[in-house]
Amino acid sequence: MLGPRRFSDLRGSLPGISANVLTQRLEGLEAAGVLMRHKLPPPAATQVYELTEWGHESEPIFQALGRWAARSPAHDPSLPFSAVSLMLSLRTMFDARRAQGIEARIGFRLGDETFLGHVTPKSIGIIRGPLEGADVVFTGSAANIARAIYAGQPIDALETDGVLQIEGNRAVAEQFVSLFPLPPKVQRQP
């Protein structure tokens, strides 16, 4: 959903999956028309997988599943997940009602990957790429940034612990982390 990915990138984002199983799944998705495989032009000249236009249409389905899963009594927002999973979760959990009056560019530096988000009063768009023009940049692991956004841990405390770094407009950072409320948990049946 955030651009082409090499096989090694996909495998690295899916701990526990074997190369054979991932290859089979990618072949099946390609045969079904959900994604396509192609070679990037030089100097990269590497094979990548990318969603087709039809594949991109599935994002609302995955967003609905994500919101549904977050309601599980067993859901733990502090568990580790990949950089791409964090970016997709932000697009899923964004609450436009909380974003009234906000227009900001939010950068994310997650290891070797960088993403730039654009928040408006109606939406959040996120792309993979350079952080130019960001009002604030969050640097840390996806799990530690998620701790600020979903687990309600104060940014200052995460910075003191050395697991998060904020560059730029701190007020925008504080406002940003409040835009993604998790839905209420389902009560367990007796």
Secondary structure of 12-46 in the HEC alphabet?
A: HHCCCCCHHHHHHHHHHHHHCCCEEEEECCCCCCC
Residue 123's pLDDT band (cuts 50, 70, 90): very high
Closest to 24 measured CA to CA, from 12, 5, 7: 7
Q: What is the pLDDT of residue 120?
A: 95
> Strand 164-168 vs strand 136-140: parallel, antiparallel, or unpaired?
antiparallel
Give per-residue pLDDT as tens, 126-183: 999 999 999 999 999 999 999 999 988 999 999 999 999 999 999 999 999 999 998 8
State the DSSP code for 101: T
DSSP-assigned letters across all residues of 114-179: EEEEEE-SS-EEEEES--TT-SEEEEE-HHHHHHHHTS---HHHHHHTTSEEEEE-HHHHHHHTTS
State both tokens at 68.
């549904």
Mean pLDDT score of the chain, rounded to an integer?
A: 91
What the chain holds in terms of domains, given with CATH numbers, is 5-57 (1.10.10.10), 60-176 (3.30.1050.10)
The sign of the torsion formed by the CA atoms of 12, 13, 18, 19 equals: negative
State both tokens at 88.
């997709």
